[in-house]
């Protein structure tokens, strides 16, 4: 379970998140949606402490951290949170000098200190899971954007994280390649993988997410089951935002 209690994040005098209270159950998929600058990517990065909240409390699994202005948690506390998360970035972030399978092996080798044979076996299984076993020895530069993102998903899963965090996983891809990534994430959701996805792609959110958090101007405007948010939102601002998608563009609600 992930619980965010009264999370705030400020950059200097600018408040990016204010009074955020969100609970994410294990085995569910939650989509963070909203206009650009609303705080969804920052909130996602606060979960694995790529951004340190200014104040509030984060609970992840058995770990709990409380933040206060001017105080940064110690490195062991940060590591204990990050080891429970896997991160998928918008721009893939693959090592260009390593093959697909070497990218996936990197975490188990360097962090978990696995033997090379064990790490390679695990990486091969994950590449098969994302439909890329035939590309194991390919260099990232020879892969399409969709394939690179699927390698990135396999890499994030290699550490067996408690939660998979995805920051705009389809926004750098054209629609056809985006569907490859959506299909992989959908299968992971069906398997019970806990995911939090920050996305502009409401089609992705409507197909995969069980719950939706709509953020704007640093606050949560509305939260609830995906079907309700996308078909009968309670808040007028959410209604206007959701109306930007039309039925033919939604995968499946």
Indicate the pLDDT class of residue 245, thresholds 50, 70 and 90. low
Query: DSSP characters for 99-154?
Result: -HHHHHHHHHHHTS---HHHHHHHHHHHHHHTT-GGGTT--GGGS-HHHHHHHHHH
Question: Which pLDDT tens digit goes with each residue over 183-232?
Answer: 999 999 999 999 999 998 887 888 889 999 999 999 999 999 998 988 88
Q: Give the pLDDT confidence score for residue 247 in this predicted structure.
A: 42
pTM score over 0.85: yes
* Residues 161, 188 contacting (CB under 8 angstroms): no
So what's the pLDDT on residue 241? 86
Mean residue pLDDT of the chain comes to 90
Tell me which CATH homologous superfamily contains domain 2-84+163-249: P-loop containing nucleotide triphosphate hydrolases (3.40.50.300)
pLDDT, tens digit, 9 for 90 and up, residues 63-114:
899 999 988 899 999 999 998 999 999 888 899 999 999 999 999 999 889 9
Q: Which of 157, 188, 176, 149 is nearest to 29 (CA)?
A: 188
User: How far apart (Å, rounded) are the C-alpha atoms in residues 62 and 52?
Assistant: 19
Residue with the two structure tokens 């969804």: 40
| 189-213: b (≥16 Cβ within 10 Å) or e | beeebbbbbbbebbbbbbbbbbbbb
Task: Specify which residues 211 forms β-bridges with.
Answer: 30, 225
Domain boundaries, the chain: 2-84+163-249, 94-160
130-176 pLDDT, tens digit each: 999 999 999 999 999 999 999 999 999 999 999 999 999 988 888 88
């Amino acid at each position: 379970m992930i619980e965010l209690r009264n999370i705030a994040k400020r950059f200097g005098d600018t408040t990016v998140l204010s009074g955020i209270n969100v609970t994410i159950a294990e085995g569910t998929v939650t989509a963070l949606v909203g206009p650009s600058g609303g705080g969804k990517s920052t909130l996602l990065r606060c979960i694995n402490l790529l951004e340190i909240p200014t104040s509030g409390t984060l609970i992840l699994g058995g770990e709990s951290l409380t933040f206060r202005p001017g105080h940064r948690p110690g490195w062991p506390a940060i590591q204990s949170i990050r080891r429970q998360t896997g991160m998928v970035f918008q721009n893939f972030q693959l090592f260009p000098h390593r093959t697909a399978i070497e990218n996936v092996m990197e975490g188990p080798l360097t962090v978990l200190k696995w033997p090379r044979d064990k790490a390679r076996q695990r990486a091969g299984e994950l590449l098969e899971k994302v439909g890329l076993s035939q590309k194991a020895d390919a260099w990232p530069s020879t892969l399409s954007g969709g394939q690179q993102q699927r390698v990135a998903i396999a890499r994030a899963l290699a550490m067996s994280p408690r939660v998979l965090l995805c920051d705009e996983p389809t926004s750098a891809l054209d629609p056809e390649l985006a569907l490859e990534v959506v299909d992989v994430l959908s299968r992971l959701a069906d398997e019970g993988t806990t995911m939090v996805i920050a996305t502009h792609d409401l089609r992705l959110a409507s197909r995969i997410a069980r719950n939706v958090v709509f953020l704007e101007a640093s606050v949560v405007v509305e939260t609830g089951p995906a079907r309700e948010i996308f078909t009968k939102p309670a808040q007028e601002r959410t209604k206007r935002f959701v109306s930007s998608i039309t039925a033919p563009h939604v995968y499946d609600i």
